[in-house]
Amino acid sequence: MTDALDRLDILDLDDDLADEDRLLRDTVRKFADDRLRPHIQQWFEDGTLPARDLAREFGELGVLGMHLDGYGCQGSTATQYGIVCAEVEAVDSGLRSLVSVQGSLAMYAIYAYGSEEQKQRWLPGMAAGELIGCFGLTEPDSGSDPGSMRTRATRDGDDWVLTGTKMWITNGSLSDVAVVWARTEEGVAGFLVEKGMPGFTTQDVHHKISLRASVTSELILDGVRVPEANRLPEARGLKAPLGCLTEARYGIVWGVTGAARDALVTAIDYATSRVQFGKPIGGFQLTQKKLADLAVSLQHTQLTAKRLGELKDAGRIAPHHVSFGKFSNVSAALAICREARSILGGSGITTEYPVLRHAVNLETVYTYEGTHEVHTLVLGSHLTGLDAFR
Ligand code: FAD
């Protein structure tokens, strides 16, 4: 594996890593190789994973909400967070989703918009992986257009009463706390809905053929009474959840480079050992053309991720930068995995190799956190000044 991994770094990007970033990368890569990679085929096939145990282990590793400061979080750089996303997604996008929904969506929402009391109450346990969070924005009839959400929060004395359904929620049924976005008379607001609150139930989504090593649930809110103390006081309007999504999309930009890299490492190893017509298939020009195209495309995704890391660490990142990254990197990673699959021939369609698993996972990543089309429109709007959303 290592040889192909080294050869894929044609532009010597690894040489630019700071010592502590390399150490972090190697630590997470070792954890991924020892603890995650040996089981991922089974988890994916079974459509289950030991999420509670894994959350604690990710917590011990210090990667949950690692880019946040204080409250048990590491205060890492954006680049370090990106490196971690790539290493985890090199095993599976579902595992990266566990990490990034916890850190970038649920924890970030509390960190950015919560009261001091809410931060003290939830963030240390979430950073340790003792508590799990989810982020409920999407609804059955409200996906790309979250402004059309129907979930409603009505004030009743010191409480709010929440009614509605959230759909496709990662970590949903696992969660100790759900960040739920709801319409109020003053606009969209965020609420911390706790496991066990009367009227709050979840139901897992089954029959997925993508992101199987991830829990996806429906959140059902049937007159759930939530105290005012559980409303996120600084979250005002739709820009609050959108701010969380910009955080999470940044992790995706890096994460998918890991999935694509893993697919390509597998394809190179296969191409150099599989013999047809008397020689390794990697010795045929058509295979080399595929590998050259894919390796160049992979390095482009890595350069994009690196640039976004620099912009974020410099405090200069804007939503259109993140849209650029999600738009370009996810589609490139998906194309890499599909073509890499062809190099494995028939073997490529099994779960014995990770390549097609990465590809089908990336179909979800292509759609969640703003579909590919939505990011196309963000870029179109940036380029023309004209909004084409409606
Ligand atoms: P729609 O919005 O109905 O879109 C269908 C198609 O129409 C897409 O191709 C879309 O791009 C296109 N389309 C829509 N509007 C336009 C337009 N104006 N112009 C051009 N094309 C358009 N959500 C959460 O809140 N929390 C989570 O944790 C979460 N996890 C998820 C996990 C999984 C496995 C999946 C599959 C989804 C998850 N989502 C989550 C939901 C995800 O963010 C939505 O699926 C996504 O926003 C798209 O919404 P939709 O599926 O309703 O599709």
Query: What are the tens digits of pLDDT across the range 216-239?
Result: 999 999 999 999 999 999 999 999
Q: Are 91 and 357 in contact (CB under 8 A)?
A: no
Q: pLDDT confidence of 2, banded at 50, 70, 90? A: low
Tokens for 263, please give them.
């697919």
If you measure from the C-alpha of residue 368 to the centroid of ligand 1, how many angstroms do you get, rounded to a whole number? 5
Is 146 near ligand 1, meaning CB less than 6 Å away?
Answer: no
From residue 375, give the alpha-carbon distance in Å to each of 139, 142, 144, 206, 328: 20, 17, 10, 28, 9
What is the CA(212)–ligand 1 centre distance, in A?
Answer: 18
pLDDT in tens, 334-376: 999 999 999 999 999 999 999 999 999 999 999 999 999 999 9
pLDDT digits (tens, 9 = 90+) for 93-113: 999 999 999 999 999 999 999
pLDDT (0 to 100) of residue 318: 96
The answer to whether residue 1 scores a pLDDT higher than 90 is: no
Give pLDDT tens digits for 123-182.
999 999 999 999 999 999 999 999 999 999 999 999 999 999 999 999 999 999 999 999
Q: Is 327 in the pocket of ligand 1 (CB under 6 A)?
A: no
Report whether residue 216 contacts ligand 1, using a CB cutoff of 6 Å: yes
Which domains are delineated in the chain? Answer: 7-127 (1.10.540.10), 133-230 (2.40.110.10), 239-384 (1.20.140.10)
Q: What is the mean predicted confidence (pLDDT) over 46-54?
A: 96
Residues 6+ apart with CB under 8 A from 160: 153, 154, 182, 184, 191, 225, 226, 227, 228, 230, 231
Quote the mean pLDDT of the chain.
97
Average pLDDT over residues 50-60: 98
Tens of pLDDT, residue by residue over 12-37, are 999 999 999 999 999 999 999 999 99
The question of whether 310 is a catalytic residue gets the answer no
Q: For residues 147 and 197, is the Cβ–Cβ distance under 8 A?
A: no
What pLDDT is recorded for position 315? 97
User: What pLDDT shows up at residue 149?
Assistant: 98
- Give the atom of ligand 1 at the shortest distance from the alpha carbon of 142: 52
Arithmetic mean of pLDDT, 297-308: 98
